[in-house]
Amino acid sequence: MVHDSPDNPDDRARKAPPAASDTPPERLAGPDVDPAAAGGDDEDDALLPDILEESGAVGEGPLATGHEAIERAVRLAPTSPGVYRMLNANADVLYVGKAKNVKKRLSSYARQSAPLPARILRMIAATVTVEIVSTTTETEALLLEANLIKQLRPRFNVQLRDDKSFPYILITGDHWAPQILKHRGAQTRPGRYFGPFASAGAVNRTITALQRAFLIRSCTDSFFESRTRPCLLHQIRRCAGPCTREIDFGGYSTLVREASDFLSGKSHAVKQELAGEMEKASNELEFERAALYRDRLAALSAIQSQQGINPRTVEEADVFAIHQEGGFSCVEVFFFRTGQNWGNRAYFPRAEKSFTPEEVLGSFLAQFYDDKPPPRNILLSHDIEESELLANALSIKAGHKVEVTAPKRGEKKELVTHALTNAREALGRKLADTATQSRLLEAMAATLSLPHVPKRIEVYDNSHIQGTNAVGAMIVAGPDGFVKNQYRKFNIKSEGITPGDDFAMMREVLERRFKRLINPPEDAAKEGNKAKDDDFPQWPDLVIIDGGRGQLNAVREIFANLGLTQVSLMSVAKGPDRDAGRETLFMPEREAIKLEPRDPVLYFIQRLRDEAHRFVIGSHRKLRKKDIREAGLQEIPGIGPSRKRALLHHFGTLKEIERASIADLGKVPGVSAESARRIFEYFHPQPG
């Protein structure tokens, strides 16, 4: 069977030492290694005697059972290319691999006489079934394998931990006055896309500088159409003002063309053109116009200076450099497009420490380009074994030739060396941060007398204004710091909650959070209710809430009703005058805890609380802004922003406005009798 899969490449990084006469099983990745204990496979090797002893001399036990499962698969396996998945008794995928000859590859696992690494033996011992998908070519198998690894996150594969798409700059093509904006996701809107950029910050800085240089608008089309006079951006010379015809169509089109040329790599020609116009204006004694060109040139120079290293001979390339230390791997990626440096990002793939740099890098690349368009050149710090196969797969995916090389000299080598230096420094910072975080967690466990060092801490907070736009939030922290892909926000839904009742809001948030853990929905249960990183637990070891003894007792009651006994609980009360450093900590059945103002554990708890507050405030502001803008009031003639705010301030929520009588609506400052009638009739339309 041929499986037509989404393009995704990335787990090429594993080859066991060659065994006699046949293709050996690939080396396998395992969980992340604690930098404080990253010394070897001692724990895994220690389990080997148990596995072998259980297997016995007569071929019984989990290892023998795993061999039998693989042997059954071998009998039905094709001799053509394909992808295989090893599953355990719970139908969880343990490992995804690809092979040019699936039957031959699986046979290498089934040979009980061949010496295999400890981790492979552990995987075989857990295997109860093998699933196979045939493909027409090895290239297709490579893409499918990487796609499945990224989707299923098998424990024994190298894993790229990345859930963010890259931002692009879009110059729209569906309006006579094109807009410049940051874009993520599917490129469906007409226009020209430039990227990828390494971060949203890099895009925002570039757009701001491009506005100064080319005066292209950044406002939405609806805002553009509603203008009757130029906005502030025009006043500060960051927009040419096409909305009110401060510039004609031809002039604005020239600005857009220049911006597109600059982003397309023709920066030298654009700067020469602007310099010529500046000199011409100066010669004609039009010094104000000359100063405008001067400022635009300065903005272009600022863009290029912010970009740092810009290659002279490399037009389009992604540069990958890997550095390993302390049982961890760091892959630094630089993006070069149109001869410009569009930023860099560090990745820390999950890989068992016995992997070589070449193996980790090969696996990383295939997964990395699963959802990203590859450039024409991919430059590597290490030679990978399947570079030709990967290049063919990416060429098919991109629709143009892609070269994968490890340069040995020249400017390309300099770019790789620069990326390698960044990888080394990034991994050093990561190891230092992780070690510090581990020490803080250990100190917290000792200070608070927790049963064990917490691996997952959840912090909860609420935000509202007089009960309106109430939202709760949960932030998560662990051994690697804040785990932002685990953050959650909860829009308060209960109609019976009195506006401003913080206890009731917290009850709703906690019940929704923990009922989902106790009784996971069908889709979550099917996936094993796992976090995105399998090593990171879903159940918290410690829950922290903002408040004093009263809030703590309320949450204890909620936990008791839910039957939760295994989760430690703590509340953090602000100090007098809300002074940081004078907080009081409350825990069940214990006296209040006061830590020294300079205690590192107190600083850590403050960071957790402040992060929760930052996240919930941001969520609340977005909800409030959306509510004011889209609550339904905007469709009522004569009800503008001021009256919206007055109504919400008076009644608290949109539901209360909907329930109000005409007389009650008329009592709101600024709302006339006619406006009150319109509002009432909007929410209570008459039949017919």
pLDDT in tens, 371-394: 778 888 999 999 988 888 889 888
| pLDDT at site 454 | 92
CA–CA dist 674, 677 (Å, integer):
5
> pLDDT tens-digit profile of 571-588?
998 866 556 667 889 999
Hunting for tokens 């249960």 — which residue is that? 525
Number of residues in the chain? 688
| pLDDT at site 323 | 92
pLDDT at 36 over 70: no
CA–CA dist 602, 596 (Å, integer):
8
| pLDDT at site 155 | 81
CATH of domain 457-626: 3.30.420.340
pLDDT at 214 over 90: no
Mean pLDDT along residues 455-463: 89
Residue 393's nearest CA partner among 4, 3, 1, 8 is 8
| pLDDT at site 457 | 93
Cβ neighbourhood burial of 432 (10 Å; 0-12, 13-18, 19+): exposed
pLDDT at 532 over 50: no
The encoded tokens of residue 450 equal 């927790």
| pTM assigned to the model | 0.63
| pLDDT at site 39 | 35
- pLDDT-derived band of residue 44, with 50, 70 and 90 as boundaries? very low
**Going by C-beta distance under 8 Å and a sequence separation of 6 or more, which residues neighbour residue 235?**
none
For residues 184 and 168, the answer to whether their CB atoms sit within 8 Å is yes
DSSP state, residue 17: P
| pLDDT at site 325 | 82
CA–CA dist 62, 56 (Å, integer):
10
Domain ranges of the chain: 35-152, 168-264+266-306, 317-429, 457-626, 631-683
> pLDDT tens-digit profile of 72-98?
888 888 888 999 999 988 888 888 988
Q: Under CATH, domain 317-429 is a member of which superfamily?
A: UvrC, RNAse H endonuclease domain (3.30.420.340)
| pLDDT at site 30 | 35
| pLDDT at site 468 | 59
**CATH class for the region spanning 631-683:** mainly alpha
pLDDT at 482 over 80: yes
- Return the HEC string of 596-622: CCCCHHHHHHHHHHHHHHHHHHHHHHH
CA dihedral sign of residues 646, 652, 654, 656: negative
| pLDDT at site 686 | 53
**Half-sphere exposure of residue 193: CA atoms within 13 angstroms, side-chain side:** 15
CA–CA dist 307, 295 (Å, integer):
19
- pLDDT-derived band of residue 52, with 50, 70 and 90 as boundaries? very low
- Return the HEC string of 269-308: HHHHHHHHHHHHHHHCCCHHHHHHHHHHHHHHHHHHHHCC
| Beta strands at 468-478 and 488-491: parallel, antiparallel or unpaired | antiparallel
| pLDDT at site 379 | 93
CA–CA dist 43, 597 (Å, integer):
40
Mean pLDDT along residues 309-324: 82
Sheet strand arrangement including 180-183: 180-183, 168-172, 191-194
CATH of domain 35-152: 3.40.1440.10
| Beta strands at 568-573 and 542-546: parallel, antiparallel or unpaired | parallel
Lowest mean pLDDT among 81-90, 358-367, 677-686: 677-686
Instruction: Tell me the CA distances in angstroms from 380 to 47, 143, 255, 544, one per residue in order.
Output: 37, 20, 38, 45
pLDDT at 331 over 60: yes
pLDDT at 564 over 60: yes
Region of 128 (left: φ > 0; alpha: ψ -120 to 50; beta: rest) is alpha
| pLDDT at site 382 | 93
pLDDT at 480 over 60: yes
**Half-sphere exposure of residue 622: CA atoms within 13 angstroms, side-chain side:** 11
Region of 9 (left: φ > 0; alpha: ψ -120 to 50; beta: rest) is beta
Adjacent-strand bridge partners of 571: 545, 586
| pLDDT at site 311 | 66
CA–CA dist 270, 421 (Å, integer):
33
Instruction: Tell me the CA distances in angstroms from 147 to 142, 330, 359, 646, one per residue in order.
Output: 9, 21, 18, 52
| pLDDT at site 465 | 59
CA–CA dist 356, 434 (Å, integer):
22
Adjacent-strand bridge partners of 319: 334, 379
- Return the HEC string of 25-53: CCCCCCCCCCHHHCCCCHHHHHHHHHHHH
Mean pLDDT along residues 161-179: 83
- pLDDT-derived band of residue 481, with 50, 70 and 90 as boundaries? confident
CA–CA dist 329, 323 (Å, integer):
6
- pLDDT-derived band of residue 207, with 50, 70 and 90 as boundaries? confident
CA–CA dist 84, 40 (Å, integer):
28
Segments in 450-548 forming alpha helices (H): 502-518, 522-526
Mean pLDDT along residues 577-600: 81
46 or 627, which is more confident? 627
Identical fold for domains 317-429 and 457-626, yes or no, is yes
Task: Report the percentage of the chain scoring pLDDT > 90.
Answer: 10
Helix (H, G, I), strand (E, B) or coil at 499: coil
**Half-sphere exposure of residue 32: CA atoms within 13 angstroms, side-chain side:** 20
**Going by C-beta distance under 8 Å and a sequence separation of 6 or more, which residues neighbour residue 274?**
258, 293, 296, 297, 300
pLDDT at 298 over 70: yes
CA–CA dist 170, 263 (Å, integer):
11
**Half-sphere exposure of residue 686: CA atoms within 13 angstroms, side-chain side:** 4
> pLDDT tens-digit profile of 217-267?
988 888 888 888 888 888 888 888 999 888 888 889 988 888 888 777 666
- pLDDT-derived band of residue 6, with 50, 70 and 90 as boundaries? very low
User: Does the N-terminal peptide bond of residue 669 adopt cis geometry, omega within 30 degrees of 0?
Assistant: no
What rounded mean pLDDT belongs to the chain? 77
> pLDDT tens-digit profile of 142-159?
888 888 887 888 888 887
